[in-house]
Amino acid sequence: PVVVTFELRRWALNSNIFTINGSKNLMFVLQAEVFPYPEIGNEEVEEINQLVAPVERFFTEEVDSAKIDREAKIPPETLNGLKELGLFGIMVPEEYGGLGLSNTMYARLAEIISLDGSIAVTLAAHQAIGLKGILIAGNEAQKQKYLPKLASGEHIAAFCLTEPGSGSDAASIQTRATLSEDGKQYLLSGSKIWISNGAIADVMTVFARTEVDVDGVKKDKISAFIVERAYGGITSGKAEDKLGIRGSNTCEVSFDNVPVPVENVIGEVGSGFKVAMNILNSGRFSMGSSSAGMIKKLIELTAEYAATRKQFNKSLSEFGMIQEKFAMMALNAFVMESMAYLTAGMMDRPGLPDCSLEAAMVKVFSSEGGWICVSEALQVLGGLGYTKDYPYERYVRDCRILPIFEGTNEILRMYIALTGMQYAGKALTGKIKEMKKGNIGMVFGVVGKKLKSSLGGSVDYGLTGKDGVVHPSLAESAKKFEQNVSHVGSTVESLLYRYGKTIVDEQLILKRVADVMINLYAMTAVLSRASRSISIGLRNHDHEVLLANTFCSDAFFKNNYLMTQLQKHSPENNDANIKKIAREVLENRAYICSHPLERTF
């Protein structure tokens, strides 16, 4: 599947992190974008309901997930059914034969498609990343030539970036494309691994190093190519025998001097890395809705069991520890949905806004939340959940890939933390310059402000109150959110003071910053969504308020703890010890304690 690279580290070390002129604002401050919750027109709602019905029906009646998992194959009839339904070209514009649906609609359909993990990954590999390059960076000729057959499913697409030596560090790929003497084609050679649809794809987006001329100096830069299997020289290895999503084909793809016409370069030569990042960023948000869709289904299945299974003369649903699991599943589904559709709604706004930070947060939250929820759902079924007679173990196996592909959660946390801190860094530059000039008053100003907010001085970003955008029944949660935000602002400031540029290497710190930011975005999403539900009187909005307040309260305390750990010399912070333990273990490549039964006398 797919990876993201951590280019930020390279960039941060080579440039002055504090003088970035990025237009990316810390989204918390952008009230206007997240309140009110994105609304779609009546017509669109009707259309979505229309489109959802046949897809749901197909998946319930025609998809045998157990069989697909058992045989590690999606039957051709099922694949054909998916093609006929139009699911291979959901976001391809109508003029090229696709459905031309928005990100929001795509997210809605993803909720149903996720009922079968193998199908979901096959379709995503094809359109969320496989053909996405042509869609967002291709020229008219490329679109006309390739999109129609890809949209109908006649041709299947794949995304070829990862190599044996280059996973998260995607910029280090070695596959090379050399321009021919006559300048009419590139010869592509190299090996790619973990390629979804690798054996069945007819059209592949392949990334390779190309030699470019930068101001007279020859440099190696990555370019993106549209490569047809028909060009020859392409071999696919045997399908990987995977833990989950077994019906999705994953294999090695090798290129041996494959001739690729120069017209098939996507975007500019040398701009491949950016193309790759844009592709990956644009598909990530839908993991929120697909995980939510899966959890909602699991709630139905497990609730049925919990209500009927009796032990100690009570049904399971009467026991606290079982009830907790259902609450957790409902909360997770609620947050994932809210985040996914908030992000999709923002992405659908005119002007192609950059929501890569938000999409990354949705991905991290949903992949980990999904993993925990499927495990707990299995737990409710006990021994039965552990058998193949029930689908729970398959859901567990299928979900394990979520924190790994599409950018490992470790990489995405680094991206989230560093991007989120950019804004704080920018604001800080001014203060640092003042300090250097010897403006002591400035320093006192900063210290004084920090003292005030750390003493719990009231913080008001205007979310609540007379002109507030949050409904009164959510006011307390909004206040907690505002407190967290101000606290995180000062926390980030002091971290940047303390570490400066070296912060890029402090992963344990950045992990906490990322977690706080993810929680904050989640809180924003639920507050926005619940406010809207109350205002327009959606059915069961009281339940939504309950979910929103419960989540925000929980997240508030978690954030506070994380930020406490981030204080200088915080006793709650065990990082130094953790690093020491890790170092000693890794040096010895083993557990180093003497056995408890050993003697020295």
Residue 154 Cβ vs another protein, minimum distance, rounded to whole Å: 14
Q: Is 99 in the site for another protein (CB under 8 A)?
A: yes
Residue 46 Cβ vs another protein, minimum distance, rounded to whole Å: 7
Residue 544 Cβ vs another protein, minimum distance, rounded to whole Å: 14
Output the furthest CA–CA distance in the chain (Å, rounded).
Answer: 84
Q: Tell me whether residue 54 or residue 165 sits nearer to another protein (CB atom).
A: 54
Q: Binding string to another protein for residues 533 to 572, with x set by CB under 8 A, is what?
A: ------x---------------------------------
Q: How far is the CA of 88 from the CAs of 92, 110, 119, 224, 574, in angstroms?
A: 9, 12, 11, 22, 49
Q: How far is the CA of 289 from the CAs of 111, 179, 283, 293, 341, in angstroms?
A: 5, 43, 12, 6, 8
In the chain, count H helices and then E strands. Answer: 20, 10
Residue 51 Cβ vs another protein, minimum distance, rounded to whole Å: 5
Q: Is 87 in the site for another protein (CB under 8 A)?
A: yes
Beta carbons within 10 angstroms of residue 446's beta carbon: 18
Q: Tell me whether residue 482 or residue 544 sits nearer to another protein (CB atom).
A: 544
Q: Tell me whether residue 55 or residue 488 sits nearer to another protein (CB atom).
A: 55
- Closest residue by Cα to residue 374 from 435, 302, 307: 302
Q: Tell me whether residue 97 or residue 425 sits nearer to another protein (CB atom).
A: 97
Stretch in the footprint of another protein (CB under 8 A) among 63-71, 85-93, 117-125, 319-327: 85-93
Stretch in the footprint of another protein (CB under 8 A) among 84-92, 138-146, 463-471, 513-521: 84-92
Structure token pair of residue 121 = 């990954």
Distance of alpha carbon 303 from alpha carbon 305, whole angstroms: 5
Q: Tell me whether residue 307 or residue 582 sits nearer to another protein (CB atom).
A: 307
Q: How many residues appear in the chain?
A: 601
Q: What are the residues facing 266 on neighbouring strands?
A: 224
How close are the terminal C-alpha atoms of the chain, in Å? 55
Total interface residues for another protein by CB under 8 A: 21
Beta carbons within 10 angstroms of residue 252's beta carbon: 19
Q: Binding string to another protein for residues 341 to 380, with x set by CB under 8 A, is what?
A: ----------------------------------------
Q: Is 84 in the site for another protein (CB under 8 A)?
A: yes
54 within 8 A of 86, measured Cβ to Cβ = no
Residue 295 Cβ vs another protein, minimum distance, rounded to whole Å: 19
Q: Collect all residues with Cβ–Cβ distance below 8 Å to 222 and sequence separation of at least 6.
A: 171, 173, 207, 208, 209, 210, 270, 272, 273, 276
Distance of alpha carbon 167 from alpha carbon 4, whole angstroms: 8
- Closest residue by Cα to residue 283 from 54, 28, 558, 1: 1
Q: How far is the CA of 50 from the CAs of 33, 46, 56, 99, in angstroms?
A: 29, 6, 11, 13
Q: How far is the CA of 38 from the CAs of 109, 288, 550, in angstroms?
A: 18, 16, 23
Residue 452 Cβ vs another protein, minimum distance, rounded to whole Å: 48
Residue 502 Cβ vs another protein, minimum distance, rounded to whole Å: 52
Q: Binding string to another protein for residues 40 to 79, with x set by CB under 8 A, is what?
A: ------xx-xxx-xxx-xx-x-------------------
- E strand segments, 215-249: 217-228, 234-236
Q: Tell me whether residue 51 or residue 488 sits nearer to another protein (CB atom).
A: 51
- Closest residue by Cα to residue 361 from 263, 281, 475: 281
Q: Which amino acid is at 499?
A: Y
* Residues that are catalytic: 406
Beta carbons within 10 angstroms of residue 521's beta carbon: 26
179: left (phi over 0), alpha (psi -120 to 50) or beta: beta
504 within 8 A of 8, measured Cβ to Cβ = yes
Residue 99 Cβ vs another protein, minimum distance, rounded to whole Å: 6
Q: What are phi and psi of 227, to 5 degrees?
A: -120, 125
- Closest residue by Cα to residue 33 from 348, 297, 288, 489: 348
Q: Is 85 in the site for another protein (CB under 8 A)?
A: yes
Residue 270 Cβ vs another protein, minimum distance, rounded to whole Å: 38
Q: Tell me whether residue 7 or residue 47 sits nearer to another protein (CB atom).
A: 47
Residue 444 Cβ vs another protein, minimum distance, rounded to whole Å: 59
Residue 84 Cβ vs another protein, minimum distance, rounded to whole Å: 5
Interface pick for another protein out of 1, 5, 17, 86 (rule CB under 8 A): 86
Q: What are the residues facing 212 on neighbouring strands?
A: 219
Distance of alpha carbon 548 from alpha carbon 534, whole angstroms: 12
Interface pick for another protein out of 36, 81, 93, 259 (rule CB under 8 A): 81
Distance of alpha carbon 209 from alpha carbon 64, whole angstroms: 42
Which stretches of the chain bind another protein, using CB under 8 A? Answer: 46-47, 49-51, 53-55, 57-58, 60, 81, 84-87, 90, 94, 99-100, 539
